[in-house]
Homo-oligomer: A and B are copies of this chain.
Amino acid sequence: MGHDGWQVPAPQALRAGPGFDLAALDRASTPGWSGDREAGEPHAAARGERLAELQELLFAHGRTGGTRSVLLVLQGLDTAGKGGIVRHVIGAVDPQGVMLRSFGVPTEEERAHHYLWRIRQSLPRPGYLGVFDRSHYEDVLVVRVAGLVPPEVWQARYAEINAFEEEVTASGTVVVKVALAISPDEQAARLRERLERPDKHWKYNPGDLDVRAQWPAYEEAYQAVLDRTSTDVAPWYVVPADRKWYARLAVTELLVHALEGLELSWPPSDIDPAAELARLDAIRIPQPGGAAAD
């Protein structure tokens, strides 16, 4: 073992490959990372700055005709920490370059369309970092567990989602799919905190307990998602989420890798800097008092 740090690159340590067994995952583990919270937090901050630089490069690329974008898809049970990832990881980059969308219970208009309609509408434009807080995967998770459509309907969706994501990636978007995996005990502790603190009551939804009561069915539905939709073009990364500092560190690292993989550089420009500097120097601005500033 060397110093604290990534002993195995995060994308490799966290990827859900063939045979990945969600039930066997220790949700308090820190795959690929050697070090504790004291080492992890400053590292995450430094990588957050790197992420912000890369996001600016992506934005510049988009502003100059580039077609690439990145989409972070965040899934996880209630209290798994999706909101914290948005606040802390996405909060490190310039809000102007982020397209964030939370997918709740579909509206009447959304229900009148195909389930991918609202998803397509929310895809990041070129140059943007898109973030989905929940996503089309709810259509094979809650929809499956709660039996909102017949089995043959949700069963057909895995292939449909794979085809959709292939189309999205082919059009230039790198899709980073993150499943935050929390343990039952840690979820209980987080729900308990919401109940014990009046300033957190607004975040508490009694329906969360109904979902919790169906834990094994959700685990089974997540396992099916990992088995059937962790493709080469859009793999799943399963991030143990009992330790919030690790989850934030890991998602930051996955995004840094995704953006570095684009191998972007500052876009060439067709402006003539010397000529523009001469134009700039030639402009005389009358001062309110009568003199001219330059």
A112, CB-defined interface residue at 8 Å = no
A195, CB-defined interface residue at 8 Å = yes
Q: How large is the interface on A (under 10, 10 to 19, 20 to 34, 35 or more residues)?
A: 35 or more
With both chains docked as a complex, state the minimum distance between the C-beta of A71 and any C-beta of chain B, in angstroms.
Answer: 15
Number of copies: 2
State whether B280 touches A201 (Cβ < 8 A): no
A266-B202 in contact given A23-B288, A212-B283, A288-B24 (Cβ < 8 Å): yes
**Residue-by-residue, is A76-89 near B (CB-CB < 8 Å gives 1, otherwise 0)?**
00000001001100
- Set B204, B267, B288: member contacting A271, Cβ < 8 A: B204
**Residue-by-residue, is A215-257 near B (CB-CB < 8 Å gives 1, otherwise 0)?**
1100100000000000000000000000000000000000000
Which of the 9-residue segments A5-13, A34-42, A92-100 touches chain B?
Answer: A92-100
Residues of A within 8 A of B (CB): 23-24, 60, 63-64, 83, 86-87, 90-91, 94-96, 98, 100, 102, 133, 183-185, 188, 191-192, 195-196, 198-199, 201-204, 206, 209, 212-213, 215-216, 219, 266-267, 269, 271, 273, 276-277, 279-280, 283, 285-286, 288, 293-294
